[in-house]
Chain A
């Protein structure tokens, strides 16, 4: 296990291969919960948290599936794991960390249908990451999501007051804004960790 590999994975997940701007995973919450920057941060943190834990658990689940020769059940098993994980985290936070629970509260149930979470679980298997790589990929992927949604929400707070054609009201202007942000993130695409 090399620290450079982990660094390369993190850098890729946060900047060059950002979940939102390069892989299109988790667009729904990205567009839905980004009207205000504090709610955006709440959602981003919740997603990071769940993605990290989901990566670790689905790694173990996948080992069991492979051992039993049931790889075709991957999608079904992963979504069930994620759904129950989200439920479990919700209950756990409510009991032991009420302050964090009230901060994340509304966003937690929404995460079940966030494709970034299921996406990271499937990508971990596809890229044949080991346990540490999977967890690092999950957490940094979540951080990339947090960065994207926070940047986007700050821009969006300003576009509220901008003067644009009436037909672009609502989603279209949000999509155009995220397109321009994606363009900015493309600037990172030459970035590489040396030596790979």
Chain B
């Protein structure tokens, strides 16, 4: 059980969005403001952790043939809980995330981690995996939100940051901006990871 390694995997080397390329829809759709990013990131982290724990608990009971259906029911239950709590306690965030909260059910990150990790590992390891992968997802959301909100609207958390004379590049908060920003971010990650690997190889050689 290696907490540090799992954390590094979730955040960088096996990041759910930029390396495993899961959960694209929500990543692209809701990263227009920091508040959205935090709301969505936290919701997914909570659901992912709870679902991972629950599925790891049940991993010996669930028959192999119907496991996907079982996973989806478990996930849908937790999503409904989070959806209703958001509507009750944070109605503004629930409204701006809209249909993407219930759509966490079909977010491939959660089903992907249930299938790839929680169904094969202990409860504790699965819980840690859920938290780490959730943090990795949230980090990507926040990076995208930061650039899209700052450059696209000149604000952060709705507060004006850029000087008045700055003309916001409105295209970044439009769908187009989502595609372009995520493309650039993944390219940057690939560049960074490749460079790190090269360095490691050279160090091994020397």
Which residues of the partner chain B approach A33 to less than 8 Å between Cβ atoms?
none
Main secondary structure of the interface of B (DSSP, over half): helix
Out of A23, A75, A178, name the residue touching B79 (CB < 8 Å): A75
Would A178 and B80 count as touching, CB distance under 8 A? no
In the assembled complex, A99 has its CB within 8 A of some CB on chain B: no
In the assembled complex, A193 has its CB within 8 A of some CB on chain B: no
In the assembled complex, A83 has its CB within 8 A of some CB on chain B: yes
Would A72 and B186 count as touching, CB distance under 8 A? no
Beta-carbon contacts under 8 Å, A146-187 to B: 165, 167-176, 178-180, 182-183, 186
Which residues of the partner chain A approach B21 to less than 8 Å between Cβ atoms?
31, 171
Out of A26, A83, A119, A171, name the residue touching B72 (CB < 8 Å): A83
Binding site for A on B (CB under 8 A): 21-22, 24-26, 28-29, 68-69, 72-73, 76-77, 79-80, 83-84, 98-99, 102-103, 105-108, 111, 171, 174-180, 182-184, 186-188, 190-191, 194
- 20 other contacts beyond A76-B80, A171-B21, A186-B175, with CB at 8 A cut-off? A24-B25, A24-B178, A25-B25, A31-B24, A74-B102, A75-B80, A76-B73, A79-B76, A79-B106, A112-B68, A114-B106, A122-B103, A168-B187, A169-B190, A176-B184, A180-B176, A182-B175, A182-B176, A182-B179, A183-B171
